[in-house]
Amino acid sequence: MGNNLDSVRQHNLSTILTLVHHAGSIPRAQLTRRTGLNRSTIAALVGELVDLRLVTESSGETTSQVGRPSSVVQTNPDTVAIAVNPEVDAVTVGVVGLGGVVQNRIRFPTEKPPTVREAVNITSAIIAGIQGGLQTETRIVGIGIAVPGLVCQSNGLVRLAPHLGWKDEPLTEMLADATGYPTSAGNDASLGARAERTFGAGRGIDDMIYLNGGASGVGGGVISSGVALGGTSGYAGELGHTRVRSDGRADSAGVRGTFESEVTRLALLEVLGLSSADTDELEQALFAAKSLAVRSEVNRQLDFLGIALGGAINILNPRLIILGGFLGSLYALDPERLHKVVAHEALPVSWNDVTISRPKLGADLLMVGAAELAFSPLLADPAGLSAQKAGRVPDKSSQESERTALNGSR
Amino acid sequence: MGNNLDSVRQHNLSTILTLVHHAGSIPRAQLTRRTGLNRSTIAALVGELVDLRLVTESSGETTSQVGRPSSVVQTNPDTVAIAVNPEVDAVTVGVVGLGGVVQNRIRFPTEKPPTVREAVNITSAIIAGIQGGLQTETRIVGIGIAVPGLVCQSNGLVRLAPHLGWKDEPLTEMLADATGYPTSAGNDASLGARAERTFGAGRGIDDMIYLNGGASGVGGGVISSGVALGGTSGYAGELGHTRVRSDGRADSAGVRGTFESEVTRLALLEVLGLSSADTDELEQALFAAKSLAVRSEVNRQLDFLGIALGGAINILNPRLIILGGFLGSLYALDPERLHKVVAHEALPVSWNDVTISRPKLGADLLMVGAAELAFSPLLADPAGLSAQKAGRVPDKSSQESERTALNGSR
DNA sequence: TTAATATGTAGTTTGCTTGAACAAATGCAG
DNA sequence: CTGCATTTGTTCAAGCAAACTACATATTAA
């Protein structure tokens, strides 16, 4: 069980770096108020973060108020994470700086869904290319992968990614070996939830559900009390397999009557007579369509969406539900209908708390989410991880020896 | 946002008191290992807790091993909480000591479901009686109420308790005013989950679901990452209203096809030809019955139970599911059938993590759970709350002044 | 009885936060 | 333009909690 020793310092550094990371840039005086720490302490802590090259301090641009203007603390754009997102038809790799700024994004299309080996090779190659173009000052703290499937938290194994055809693949380990960077992976929707909560529509919201409707099905991520809901192995949030009717079509797991089997992008395309379309095109087509068949299919899907949301609301009591992908389009077509269904399914007191909205982050969503995964060890222990280049969780011996050395020199 | 100053002390005291509370009694050496703190530090911290009369130290009874035997730290039975559980036909009040030991339990039957005023009056009267019989040394830290309904976390209002006929009742405030003790309330199933997790079948399990089947329906509580899942207002865990079929009977909220409407104690009693029975009698009758009709109803309910559990497993990825009340009886009748249904509904990788079991705590369950609620401020800040008699969450000014005084005297 | 092992105790050391005093930079009133 | 109030950054001494070291103590094994 955990407790404190001189890890006070670690905790405070973590708190401050996290605040700066979330805000992008924030006055030092603000840090004083938000943390409740003394000005002198903030000065010392920020100084250390500057020494660690994690943040920079500039004296300009404060809100004009009475008194001496506060110096502004900003994230250091030299500290970056690599974000990776393998998909059915492409592998996307991005460079994301502290503060959630996507500096670079490269989408590498593939003819077929990539194998794990291919995904690793493509990613390694792109990273090698990126490294060549980077400033020598730039430091990569690690790699985060957003996987469209179930990833085991404890060992990093991709247990199942049906649309990629992956099963029990050691993706994390392979990419770490290939690149030498500390690597971690997570479910794409869970990371999307994290991104929206930190930088998007869910800023400051502690209890929310993010649902994304994509070509390959429905993914979900839950934030509860400000923390991503993981479960024992990190598989939590799979709302797509919620039962919404007794019978019906089969979903990707072969089960009938689930949310994911009834509410699909494909069914919308079919009724529209389209063979393919991206999310924006689909939404435009849906809004333009006057046909009764389209309307009826939209309503049918909205009703099932409402049933799934109602169940989730009863279990999770969220304040916010963010609907991404074509789920957001469905919602935009007829918010009232969805509200009505949910109101019927969910307990009134719980439904009362809920706001439904669409995501704020666009194409960068998964890049930002995956980068969060890579940043999290650094945010949790800024001094410990900046010390060594690799950035793995520091083992006690190395920390000890470092501290002993410091003591000796004084 | 929070961080550390001399709150290190608070955190460490909290950690140690929590460990002792959960274990009941634990050797000091064990505390050293579990916390990672130094022996001297543990000595000082335990010393402070002894001074605060929260724990006691005795030198006897350690496991015989090489070396000097460690002194054993025990919870001080003089520190107690009052647990209250209003029900349809009775109000139960108990005295629970630190360590989760129920020292006293009084069940006061009522002819009709009590009004809030009646519940408060009965409780106050019983507490007055208890106080008379207590040692003068005994200190009551507060009152916890387990309510069969939805309780708002932020203001303590009982939003809805359908079986008691309560709606938006300020129960917490009324009982606090009547008794003078700090009072808090929570949903009965959520508190049951907490009790089983701390002292029962869920010891050491960080992700679990507790489901209880009672006369008035199905209640649920979720523990995620070791913390009770609350949601925005504390209504989370209402698994009873999960949809398990497209149509069907109406549940207590007037919605058809929910878990609670299909899986009921009443339907079991009816098919058995019984008019009333407690949980044990019902279970015996179910095991004794050979009739095909009984068997078929049990199977029907098991199937719906499986559907509800499957959905919950997909969303929450628990390691353990505890089935209380008649849900436990149903499970005991045919575990294999339930396993089969759940295996079909849930994602295999998530289902793979799950163990299903029955509760370990008996009639004391809700007393222990409600007491946990009352103990939690004390466990979070042992020194801060023991200082004043009332035990409310200390406001900053009082803490400040106290600290200033200490500084001044030295 | 002696050695080995593990725990409790006392006094010193270390590191982090704090607080007070002072310097610096801005807005506002005259 | 000048002085005052206000807010923030900076410096340095002080306080405090945990860690460390050394020693005392209590048990098992030989």
Looking at CA atoms only, how far is residue A35 from chain B in angstroms?
5
State mean pLDDT over B144-157. Answer: 97
**Side chain identity, residue B383:** A
Determine the pLDDT at residue B385: 67
Mean pLDDT, chain A, whole residue set: 90
pLDDT in tens, B308-351: 999 999 999 999 999 999 999 999 999 999 999 999 999 999 99
Determine the pLDDT at residue B251: 61
User: Cβ of residue B5 near strand D, that is under 7 Å?
Assistant: no
Which residues lie below 8 Å from residue A194, measured CB to CB, with a gap of 6+? Answer: A221, A223, A228, A369, A372, A373
Which residues lie below 8 Å from residue A371, measured CB to CB, with a gap of 6+? Answer: A81, A82, A83, A94, A96, A100, A144
**Which of B3, B243, B311 has its CB closest to that of A11?**
B3
pLDDT in tens, A271-304: 999 988 889 999 999 999 999 999 999 999 999 9
Determine the pLDDT at residue B404: 27
Looking at CA atoms only, how far is residue A117 from chain B in angstroms?
23
Determine the pLDDT at residue B86: 97
Cα diameter, chain A: 80
Q: Is B215 helix (H, G, I), strand (E, B) or coil?
A: coil
Q: CA-CA distances (angstroms) from residue B232 to A202, B6, B79, B319?
A: 13, 30, 31, 24
User: Cβ of residue A70 near strand D, that is under 7 Å?
Assistant: yes
The rounded distance, in Å, linking the Cα atoms of B172 and B185 is: 6
pLDDT in tens, B226-280: 999 999 999 999 999 999 988 766 666 666 789 999 999 999 999 999 988 889 9
State mean pLDDT over A103-114. Answer: 96
Element at B56 (helix H, strand E)? strand B55-58
Cα diameter, chain B: 80
The rounded distance, in Å, linking the Cα atoms of A170 and B247 is: 44
Determine the pLDDT at residue A407: 29
Determine the pLDDT at residue A7: 83
User: Cβ of residue B194 near strand C, that is under 7 Å?
Assistant: no
Determine the pLDDT at residue B60: 67
Determine the pLDDT at residue B388: 46
pLDDT in tens, B80-125: 999 999 999 999 999 999 999 999 999 999 999 999 999 999 999 9
The rounded distance, in Å, linking the Cα atoms of A92 and A89 is: 10
| Other Cβ atoms within 10 Å of A160 Cβ, number | 21
- pLDDT-derived band at B403 (thresholds 50, 70, 90) equals very low
Q: Is A56 helix (H, G, I), strand (E, B) or coil?
A: strand
Determine the pLDDT at residue B123: 98
Residue B357 gets the label, from left (phi > 0), alpha (psi -120 to 50) or beta, of beta
pLDDT in tens, A48-87: 999 999 999 987 666 668 888 999 999 999 999 999 999 9
pLDDT in tens, A152-164: 999 999 999 999 9
- pLDDT-derived band at B389 (thresholds 50, 70, 90) equals very low
Q: With pLDDT > 70 as the criterion, what percentage of chain B qualifies?
A: 89
Residue of A nearest to B351 (CA): A235
What are the E-state strand segments in B276-360?
320-325, 355-357
- The answer on pLDDT for A107 being more than 50 is yes
pLDDT in tens, A183-224: 999 999 999 999 999 999 999 999 999 999 998 899 999 999
Determine the pLDDT at residue B61: 64
Test A350 with B238 for CB contact under 8 angstroms. Answer: yes
Could you tell me if B183 and B176 are in contact, meaning their C-beta atoms sit under 8 angstroms apart?
Answer: yes
User: Cβ of residue A6 near strand D, that is under 7 Å?
Assistant: yes
Q: Is B68 helix (H, G, I), strand (E, B) or coil?
A: coil
Test B19 with A12 for CB contact under 8 angstroms. Answer: no
Nearest CA among B189, B231, B155, B224 for reference residue B323: B189
| Angle, vertex CA B376, rays to CA B371 and CA B377, nearest 5 | 125
Could you tell me if A20 and A74 are in contact, meaning their C-beta atoms sit under 8 angstroms apart?
Answer: yes
Which residues in chain A are closer than 8 Å to B206, comparing Cβ atoms?
232
Q: With pLDDT > 90 as the criterion, what percentage of chain B qualifies?
A: 82
The rounded distance, in Å, linking the Cα atoms of B232 and B59 is: 46
Nearest CA among B138, B93, B152, B155 for reference residue B119: B93
Test A242 with B4 for CB contact under 8 angstroms. Answer: no
The rounded distance, in Å, linking the Cα atoms of B71 and B92 is: 37
Mean pLDDT, chain B, whole residue set: 90
Test A35 with B3 for CB contact under 8 angstroms. Answer: yes
**Which of B225, B234, B236 has its CB closest to that of A315?**
B236
User: Cβ of residue A66 near strand D, that is under 7 Å?
Assistant: yes
Determine the pLDDT at residue A223: 98
Determine the pLDDT at residue A255: 67
Could you tell me if A269 and A275 are in contact, meaning their C-beta atoms sit under 8 angstroms apart?
Answer: yes
State mean pLDDT over B199-224. Answer: 96
**Which of A232, A245, A315 has its CB closest to that of B239?**
A315
Determine the pLDDT at residue A196: 98
Residue of B nearest to A220 (CA): B315
pLDDT in tens, B42-85: 999 999 999 999 999 987 666 668 888 899 999 999 999 999 99
Distance B364 CA to C6 C1' (A): 39
Test B315 with A237 for CB contact under 8 angstroms. Answer: yes
- pLDDT-derived band at B5 (thresholds 50, 70, 90) equals low
Determine the pLDDT at residue A98: 96
| Angle, vertex CA B8, rays to CA B7 and CA B13, nearest 5 | 95
Nearest CA among B63, B61, B71, B86 for reference residue B144: B86
The rounded distance, in Å, linking the Cα atoms of A207 and A342 is: 18
B280 by Cβ neighbours in 10 Å (0-12 / 13-18 / 19+) ranks as exposed
Structural domains in chain A plus CATH codes: 7-76 (1.10.10.10), 79-191+364-387 (3.30.420.40), 201-357 (3.30.420.40)
Test B347 with A241 for CB contact under 8 angstroms. Answer: yes
Determine the pLDDT at residue B390: 35
Q: What are phi and psi of A73, to 5 degrees?
A: -100, 130
Could you tell me if B243 and A311 are in contact, meaning their C-beta atoms sit under 8 angstroms apart?
Answer: yes
Could you tell me if A328 and A358 are in contact, meaning their C-beta atoms sit under 8 angstroms apart?
Answer: yes
User: Cβ of residue A69 near strand D, that is under 7 Å?
Assistant: yes
Determine the pLDDT at residue B133: 84
pLDDT in tens, A120-144: 999 999 999 999 888 778 999 999 9
pLDDT in tens, A331-356: 999 999 999 999 999 999 999 999 99
